[in-house]
Amino acid sequence: MFRRCWRSGRIGVGVGCAGVAMGPAEHRDALAEQVRPDFPILSRRVHGRPLVYLDSAATSQKPRAVIEALVRFYEESNANVHRSPHRLAEEATAAYEEARDKVAGFINAPQREGVIFTSGTTQSINLVASAWGQAYLKPGDEIVVTEMEHHSNLVPWQLVTEAMGARLRFLRVGENGTLSLDELERLLNERTRLVAFTAVSNVLGTVNPTREIVERAHAVGALTLVDGALSLPHMPTDVQRLGCDFLAFSGHKMLGPNGIGVLYGKPEILETMPPYVTGGGMIGKVTRERSTWAGLPYKFEAGTPSVANAVALGAAIDYLRALGMERVWAHTRALTAYAVERLREIAGVTVYGDAGERGVVVSFNVDGAQPHDLATHLDQRGIAIRAGHHCAQPLMQRLGVAGAARASVYVYNTRGEVDALAEAVAEARAFFRRSGGMAR
């Protein structure tokens, strides 16, 4: 369990407040058993059953340290930032900028000016599509995306390429759920301006070779945008090692609050981009005729920012860093592999994707059951999963299905919960066979 240092609010492990990760797990559920007491919602019962929360790819649960950070800000330091000289405003500004520094450290950004707070991954990608795309795309230019993208990393590029007379090209998903670097090589050319792709598929769990894709894009002079919505919460991430030009991610998938996210961009690129949203806080000087813009990162943070959520995101980063991201990734990757193994043992269950490097999510279907019916059936047993197209309709078309059920794990999940999922799916399979596929 984690304890808080009284004065600083820092998160430490065990009995100390040094923030040093514990040693290797003694058994497979050691990490989950360590952290579960920190998550109040996990003590809930749903329909009379203990909650088994397997929907963290949609949104993660929040540890008490993050909830307390949010409450403490509103109770003690709530004020607008960068505005007033009074004590509360100074405290709020300091806490907000400290959160930016924590993000920069978490992703090893070389300059804090490249860290822009947004509402989440979706807004981060839209910012680049609008500010960069409308400024730099020309007729005949090309943007490359993949067939496995979330709609948030597809629809913005559809709109901007149509508006600018550019072309959208697709890197296909192979039969095993992976991307082919050889095919990428054939797609890239002198007209390619940007390659936008997910680090981890939110349907297949495929971990893409991010660094290699970035290097190949840069070889033809193209920029890169990485959707890190499902990689940042689970895997160590170093933007300098990856070399990406833009990285987008959300706080709510990494133990933080809703409504806060980050766009990282190389400052030398961000400097050349026009503002995305205008108003207070992002200006240099305003006259009746024209305006100039504030420096980075404030040029892209118009209006009152989500200060409390940024502070709470900083608390989530403290929590994850105390755990150690290598340890987090080892846990979620192993648990995902175990879930794949257990589900594939059940007759009539199809699990999608077979990548060698896989983590976070398992998407599957049960013969004779609609995904939403299956999810409703599991909910009656206290098991929370997602069902539908997962905002990835082109990938669903590639898989030949309208939708799928999806289970996703995080630091607080156990093998016992995966066993409970497998047993409930097997029972649901028998139920739907008896009832002819109709839910009650």
Could you tell me where the DSSP H helices lie in 79-205?
87-107, 121-127, 133-136, 155-164, 181-187
309: amino acid identity, one letter? N
250 lies in the same domain as 101: yes
270 lies in the same domain as 330: no
425: amino acid identity, one letter? V
**Whether pLDDT at 353 is above 60:** yes
Q: What's 226's domain CATH number?
A: 3.40.640.10
What does the DSSP 8-state code read for residue 75? I
Active site residue: 5, 17, 244, 391, which one? 391
187 lies in the same domain as 126: yes
> CA–CA separation, 155 vs 258, rounded Å?
22
Residue 6 pLDDT: 24
> CA–CA separation, 423 vs 421, rounded Å?
6
**Whether pLDDT at 3 is above 60:** no
Residue 32 pLDDT: 97
**Whether pLDDT at 21 is above 70:** no
Q: Residue 63 falls within a domain, yes or no? A: no
Sequence-distant (≥ 6) Cβ neighbours of residue 240 within 8 angstroms? 108, 109, 110
Q: What is the largest CA-CA distance in the chain?
A: 73
Range 238-267 average pLDDT: 98
Q: What's 341's domain CATH number?
A: 3.90.1150.10
Which of 264, 287, 321 is the last residue before a domain boundary?
321
Q: Residue 58 falls within a domain, yes or no? A: no
Range 97-105 average pLDDT: 98
> CA–CA separation, 80 vs 6, rounded Å?
25
Which of 275, 290, 321 is the last residue before a domain boundary?
321
298 lies in the same domain as 377: no
Average pLDDT for the chain = 93
Q: Residue 118 falls within a domain, yes or no? A: yes
Which of 321, 341, 364 is the last residue before a domain boundary?
321
Q: Residue 5 falls within a domain, yes or no? A: no
| Count: domains in the chain | 2
Q: Residue 10 falls within a domain, yes or no? A: no
> Parallel, antiparallel, or unpaired: how do β-strands 349-351 and 283-286 relate?
unpaired
17 part of the active site: no
Residue 306: φ, ψ to 5°: -85, 75
Overall size of the chain counted in residues? 440
> CA–CA separation, 281 vs 301, rounded Å?
7
Range 244-272 average pLDDT: 98
Range of the domain at 350: 19-50+324-435
Whole-model pTM: value is 0.93
